[in-house]
Amino acid sequence: MVGRADEPLPDAADAVIVGGGVVGVAAARDLAPDYDVVVVEKGAVAGEASALAAGEVTLATTYIGEREGIAEYGTSFFRDYSGTGDFHYEERNGVELVPQGRGGEAREYAAGLRDTGANVEYIDPPTGRERYPRIDFDRFDGGIEFRDTGFLDPYTFATTLADDAEDRGATICTERAVTGLVVENGTVTGVETEGGRIDADHVVAAAGWRTTSFLAEHLEIPVQPYRTQCIVLEPDDPVGEDFPMGWLPGEHVYFRPELNGDVLVGGFSFAEDDPERASGQADEAFRQHVAELLPRFVEGGDRARFVNGWAGVDGATPDTLPIIDAPDAAPDGLVVAAGFHGRGVMTAPIAAAIVNALVRDTTPPFTRDPFRLDRFEDTSPDFEFTSISAGDDDYD
Ligand SMILES: Cc1cc2nc3c(=O)[nH]c(=O)nc-3n(C[C@H](O)[C@H](O)[C@H](O)COP(=O)(O)OP(=O)(O)OC[C@H]3O[C@@H](n4cnc5c(N)ncnc54)[C@H](O)[C@@H]3O)c2cc1C
């Protein structure tokens, strides 16, 4: 790792990756066996959104139906990668808790999902109580149980990918910002950095929510900053292996167990006008919301202690899916990987495979259509923000 500001950067590479978040280092790892790859990160690897993530892997709920092949690719990656270095992927079912009076609709909705090939089942309250005794199913009309979900520690995941990328020959330079893209005759020829120019045939813009301003002179993308939060609580009686991950429709939260028996609750996501100065602390209103909510679904939730809380900024898109593309409107040689909208950790292996295919001019092992920039007619970053943790409460 080229870590100190006085250490010289390479002056040429096949591919420069702008941003050493989880997406940048995952892409570097995939490209490194065959390309001379340099990652340039203005701070530390995973120093921004990536280390702040809740670590939920809910690809199975996100990439279903016509997005076939995407969830399977990502889920297999996490299963196979678990055990690499200190990285561990914990498989755990995800249960969407169904509000009272909505059981019929939820049952139909789950059946529809199954028809699209999703590994999902509607469970009635007695089944819920039996499978997940710490969830108070007396207050719900059952749940929609998703298999093939899980969680991980995002910082360990990102740093393991970075170590792997370096072992495969990539150079990771930290503490140095990329100040601009060099474009000649419509083609990318490198980047300018705080440590000098790096010539390159390919540049991958993976700079998180800052990708929009980084590319502004060359390409407009509909990615805007938003702020989202997490809180960890320690119940009197730690939750065990039969505690699921889950969602509460309409309550703007998701939850998952920690391996030590604590419960992490995330959500409360809003568009952020001042991302550089946004607070890294969880809001008091979110703390209160979670304190009131926990006893409503976790047995013993009224006796849980606050452990810690935090907030971070990620990039949002109008349809909540990222942009992973070498768009026609962009200079040749530019690949964009941004707008991960609260799912960048789980989507990193998928993004890496697409970036790899775009650089090599091959096709990834699944459809990349949902991630193309040209799915948007309007590419302005000024759009109305949609929260993915709001929950789907209409089952349509
Ligand atoms: C509280 C919270 C909870 C979340 N929970 C989950 C979850 O459970 N599951 C999930 O999958 N995702 C989750 N996310 C989202 C996830 O963290 C992001 O989608 C993901 O980290 C995006 O990765 P990235 O590499 O695109 O961006 P980042 O991690 O933001 O990395 C971009 C990097 O680019 C660098 N950079 C920017 N500009 C420049 C420049 N000019 N030169 C050099 N470097 C530059 C930045 O310093 C930064 O390190 C959560 C996010 C937050 C904040």
Q: What pairing do the DSSP bridges indicate for beta strands 94-97 and 245-248?
A: parallel
Domain that holds residue 100: 94-146
Question: What is the CB neighbour count within 10 angstroms for residue 115?
Answer: 9
Q: Nearest-5° angle of CA 374, CA 378, CA 381?
A: 105
What is the residue-wise DSSP string for 279-344? -SSPPHHHHHHHHHHHHHHBTTGGGPEEEEEEEEEEEE-TTS--EEE--TTSPBTEEEEE--TT-H
Q: Is residue 386, in this structure, part of any structural domain at all?
A: no
Intervals of the chain under pLDDT 50: none
CATH number of the domain that residue 330 is part of:
3.50.50.60
Q: Is residue 245, in this structure, part of any structural domain at all?
A: no
Looking at the structure, do residues 124 and 174 belong to the same domain, yes or no? Answer: no
The closest residue, in CA terms, to atom 26 on ligand 1 is: 208
Looking at the structure, do residues 17 and 134 belong to the same domain, yes or no? Answer: no
**Mean pLDDT value across the chain:** 95
CA distance 317 to 325: 14
Residue found under tokens 């499978």: 131
Residues in the chain: 396
Looking at the structure, do residues 367 and 324 belong to the same domain, yes or no? Answer: yes
Q: Is residue 310, in this structure, part of any structural domain at all?
A: no
- What is the widest separation between alpha-carbon atoms in the chain? 66
> What separation in Å is there between the alpha carbon of 318 and the centre of ligand 1?
18
> What separation in Å is there between the alpha carbon of 290 and the centre of ligand 1?
24
Residue pair 333/203 in contact by the 8 Å Cβ criterion: yes
The closest residue, in CA terms, to atom 15 on ligand 1 is: 342
52-81 pLDDT, tens digit each: 999 999 998 888 866 779 999 999 999 999
Q: Is residue 325, in this structure, part of any structural domain at all?
A: yes
**What is residue 390's predicted lDDT score, i.e. its pLDDT?**
60
Q: Is residue 371, in this structure, part of any structural domain at all?
A: yes
User: Who contacts 361 (Cβ-Cβ below 8 Å, separation ≥6)?
Assistant: none
Q: Is residue 63, in this structure, part of any structural domain at all?
A: no
CA distance 344 to 388: 13
Looking at the structure, do residues 100 and 211 belong to the same domain, yes or no? Answer: no
Looking at the structure, do residues 134 and 24 belong to the same domain, yes or no? Answer: no
Q: Which atom of ligand 1 is nearest to the CA of 47?
A: 49
User: Who contacts 15 (Cβ-Cβ below 8 Å, separation ≥6)?
Assistant: 31, 35, 36, 37, 38, 200, 201, 202, 203, 204, 359
Looking at the structure, do residues 169 and 201 belong to the same domain, yes or no? Answer: yes
CA distance 44 to 2: 11
**What is residue 224's predicted lDDT score, i.e. its pLDDT?**
98
Q: Which of 349, 345, 351 is nearest to 323 (CA)?
A: 351
Q: Is residue 282, in this structure, part of any structural domain at all?
A: no
CA distance 128 to 320: 30
Looking at the structure, do residues 137 and 16 belong to the same domain, yes or no? Answer: no
**What is residue 249's predicted lDDT score, i.e. its pLDDT?**
83
The closest residue, in CA terms, to atom 37 on ligand 1 is: 207
What is the residue-wise DSSP string for 223-282? -EEEEEEEEEEE-SS---TTPPEEEETTTTEEEEE-TTS-EEEEEEEEE-S-GGG--SSP
Looking at the structure, do residues 333 and 368 belong to the same domain, yes or no? Answer: yes
- Measured from CB, residues less than 6 Å from any atom of ligand 1 are 18-24, 40-43, 47-50, 52-56, 177-178, 206-208, 210, 214, 228-230, 266, 312, 314, 340, 342-346
Q: Which of 129, 112, 99, 63 is nearest to 347 (CA)?
A: 63
Q: Is residue 304, in this structure, part of any structural domain at all?
A: no
Looking at the structure, do residues 140 and 162 belong to the same domain, yes or no? Answer: no
C-alpha torsion sign, points 302, 307, 311, 314: negative
Looking at the structure, do residues 188 and 131 belong to the same domain, yes or no? Answer: no
Q: Nearest-5° angle of CA 181, CA 187, CA 189?
A: 50
CA distance 171 to 37: 6
Looking at the structure, do residues 142 and 171 belong to the same domain, yes or no? Answer: no
Looking at the structure, do residues 140 and 160 belong to the same domain, yes or no? Answer: no
Residue found under tokens 């942009």: 323
Q: Which atom of ligand 1 is nearest to the CA of 151?
A: 8
* Two tokens, residue 175: 């503490």
- Overall number of domains in the chain: 2
